[in-house]
Structure 1
Amino acid sequence: MTRNPESRVRGRYRLATVGCAAAGAVLLSSGAALADTSAEEAQNRYEELQRELSELNEAFNQAEQDHEAAAAELEDVEERLAQAQEDLDAMSSDVVQIARSAYTGATHSLFAVLFRESPDEALQNIADLDHLSAGQQIVLADYVTEVERAEELRAEAAAAEDAAAEALEAAETAQTEGEAALEEQEEALADLGGEDPTAGAAATGGAEVAASGDVRAVLDFARAQIGKPYEWGGTGPDAYDCSGLVQAAWAQAGVNLPRTTYDQVNAGTRISRDEVRPGDLLFFYDESAPSHVGLYSGNGNMIHGSNPSKPLEEVALADYWDGVFTVAVRVG
């Protein structure tokens, strides 16, 4: 085998740990909706929760992706160990005979002779088998080293998978609590006569925006999803989250975008707000690690999904969304 999973296992372990901590940090900033005393305060709090909810969604997506990768890595290492056992089984008969010939009258098995002590002592045991040829000693020494490293990797991979599973569970819990907080705040805002500041104006009209064949396919697909539910981690075809919609739309043009906004923001050329054209990705809240994305559809509009209380929609960027815009990216 030619696999070298050591660095990937350690990297995923760090990602899972960071993701779990980030989800917890976001929850700490949540507050009780009913503590708001004015429509303006309720609106400001709703905006804060919308941003936090976007962060929670992308933290969930990252945690889910990390868990899938960690589980696959653990499976890979288990296969490596299984192959090593098959290799041992294939040679054990001959090797046991060689080992027994070195210890006249003994009934030791290969494991009893080689693995009864620590790995270093096992290597020494091999060297002590004077009747083994140099080539046979090398084969056995290599096998001991391989098993030892594979066992270490299995422990690391299992720890990474456990950490990733915990991070995913924490992200799911944070999502549920965050969504409940937003719904509560929405009710408080309505009771005070306020309006959802993130809804944005209805999409503005205007002449049809010219677009290439690929971009036209992307926008046609995205518009066909308008009205479908927003769903945590949704990648279609019945429901989407913001990054899932963008990923699925650009797949229509043969472009394989990453799953999360954290990676999508680095999937093309960054451009300024006044350079955007249809099909460009618009990112919001944090330029280095944005938690929300939409597709620019022309005439100052974008197609996106913002949270589970609203379906996928096309809205004008004016006011709220332009106020939290950070960077645009051109792909394709």
Structure 2
Amino acid sequence: MAAHRKPRRSFLGGHAARTAATLALASAATTTLFEGSGHAEPRPTTAQVKERVDRLYEDAGAATERYNGAKERADAARAAFDRLRDEAARRTQRLNDARDSLGAMAAAQYRTGGLDPAVRLALTSDPDQYLERAALAEKAGDRQTAAISAVRRELGAIRQLRGESAQHLTELRRNETELRRQKAAVLGRLAEARTLLGRLTAEERARYEAAEAGSGSTTAVAHTGTGRADRSSTGDRDPATAPDARTAQAVSFARAQLGKPYVWGATGPSAYDCSGLTQAAWRAAGVSLPRTTYTQINAGRRVSRSELAPGDLIFFYSGISHVGLYIGGGQMIHAPRPGAPVRVAPIDEMPFAGATRVA
């Protein structure tokens, strides 16, 4: 005979059951909202993408200059460490030579029985031989004293060199850590910019490039198959005459780089970043500039915007993170950013921060 079972009662009854059903429906509605059209973020406009990408490139430029500064400091620390290491090696060789000399003297004393020179002289009956041996003993004593002094001197110098080397090695490692950090910052900003640009459609990308060209260079520059740059008439001549031959040489060098690519950390001759270009231009004119924007701004006499003359260095942004070479007529030659080659551009396209006259 089949067993009759009573139906199992629900743990939720009455008001509780109705509440659970309401929550389930709300949850389903919420899930649909976020998984459906409600979850989609509004697509940024081309102008918004350009604004964001420009900001990322500005951040990357600032990180590039910090990278350049850390690299300059690391290179200096490495050179100092190598110099001290070489000097320590030379001192160590001199120490070994002094020790060998002392060893030879000790061996000679052992062979003579270790007698004190005064005792050996006293046992000599020949007056002439006595005087000769006395002179020799005095010279030997002088040599031994000099050899001991040399050992002590080299030991002290080596200890000092090792201390200085340790300091430079610590500095080198600290700057190498900073190098890695700033490199990661640069690459991160550039990768984010590429990702944003990669989401644009072909039509949006065309509008972005048109907007970039409109707010950027006043000179169209492109490489030909021969590696030379094609320049418009605006870029082919100086808007103003350089005040002296050295400045003219710097401007001429910068103009010869038109069309070459921007590469962060590059100092030429095939690619440049902004401060690498200005450094190379003035180096061609026989003037040595420091490596970074925030050190180049102090490499000459500060001038106001109204005083600008060809050859002046013009700096931009509050962090002094970009620099160009003024050529007159409100224009400069600069290396803008990745994807934008060395070009002629108006100085008004970025916020002016200051200017320096090198020559």
TM-score calculated relative to the size of structure 1: 0.70
Residue 58 of structure 1 and its aligned partner are, at CA, apart by: 0.9
- Identify if the C-alpha distance between structure 1 residues 177 and 207 changes in structure 2 by more than 3 Å, giving closer, same or farther: closer
Residue 176 of structure 1 and its aligned partner are, at CA, apart by: 1.7
TM-score calculated relative to the size of structure 2: 0.65
SS of alignment partner, residue 297 of structure 1? strand
Q: Is 1:269 the equivalent of 2:301?
A: yes
Pick the aligned partner of 1:169 from 143, 165, 180.
180
SS of alignment partner, residue 95 of structure 2? helix
- Give the residue type in structure 1 aligned to 2:240: V
Larger radius of gyration: 2
Q: Is 1:211 the equivalent of 2:227?
A: no
Q: Is 1:310 the equivalent of 2:340?
A: yes
SS of alignment partner, residue 286 of structure 2? coil
Give CA-to-partner distance per residue, 1:41-77, whole Å, 9 cap, x none. Answer: 4344333212211111111211221222121111111
Task: Identify the residue that residue 297 of structure 1 maps to in structure 2.
Answer: 327
Quick check: 2:249–2:285 contact (8 Å CA) kept in 1? Answer: yes
Task: Identify the residue that residue 90 of structure 1 maps to in structure 2.
Answer: 97
- Identify if the C-alpha distance between structure 1 residues 217 and 136 changes in structure 2 by more than 3 Å, giving closer, same or farther: closer
Pick the aligned partner of 1:65 from 61, 72, 75.
72
Residue 247 of structure 1 and its aligned partner are, at CA, apart by: 1.3
Written as runs of structure 1 = structure 2, the 5 A alignment for 1:215-234 is 215-234=247-266
Task: Identify the residue that residue 356 of structure 2 maps to in structure 1.
Answer: 329
Deviates more, 1:201-210 or 1:144-153: 201-210
- Taking the aligned partners of 1:96 and 1:294, their CA distance within structure 2 comes to 66
- Give the residue type in structure 2 aligned to 1:309: G
Quick check: 2:74–2:175 contact (8 Å CA) kept in 1? Answer: yes
- Identify if the C-alpha distance between structure 1 residues 139 and 198 changes in structure 2 by more than 3 Å, giving closer, same or farther: farther
SS of alignment partner, residue 339 of structure 2? coil
Task: Identify the residue that residue 183 of structure 1 maps to in structure 2.
Answer: 194
Pick the aligned partner of 2:52 from 31, 42, 45.
45
SS of alignment partner, residue 101 of structure 2? helix
Give CA-to-partner distance per residue, 1:13-58, whole Å, 9 cap, x none. Answer: xxxxxxxxxxxxxxxxxxxxx9984555434433321221111111
Task: Identify the residue that residue 244 of structure 1 maps to in structure 2.
Answer: 276
Task: Identify the residue that residue 160 of structure 1 maps to in structure 2.
Answer: 171
Written as runs of structure 1 = structure 2, the 5 A alignment for 1:71-150 is 71-96=78-103, 138-150=149-161
Quick check: 1:278–1:296 contact (8 Å CA) kept in 2? Answer: yes
Higher relative contact order (CA 8 A, sep 6+): 1
- Taking the aligned partners of 2:184 and 2:91, their CA distance within structure 1 comes to 40
- Taking the aligned partners of 1:35 and 1:278, their CA distance within structure 2 comes to 47
- Taking the aligned partners of 1:186 and 1:272, their CA distance within structure 2 comes to 37
Name structure 1 gaps, 5 residues minimum.
Answer: 1-33, 106-131
Residue 327 of structure 1 and its aligned partner are, at CA, apart by: 0.2
Residue 285 of structure 1 and its aligned partner are, at CA, apart by: 1.3
- Taking the aligned partners of 2:42 and 2:100, their CA distance within structure 1 comes to 76
- Identify if the C-alpha distance between structure 1 residues 93 and 168 changes in structure 2 by more than 3 Å, giving closer, same or farther: same
Quick check: 2:99–2:151 contact (8 Å CA) kept in 1? Answer: no
SS of alignment partner, residue 211 of structure 1? coil
SS of alignment partner, residue 169 of structure 1? helix
Quick check: 1:285–1:291 contact (8 Å CA) kept in 2? Answer: yes
Percent of matched pairs sharing the same residue: 32
Quick check: 1:43–1:189 contact (8 Å CA) kept in 2? Answer: no
- Give the residue type in structure 2 aligned to 1:160: E
- Taking the aligned partners of 1:63 and 1:198, their CA distance within structure 2 comes to 35
- Give the residue type in structure 1 aligned to 2:102: V
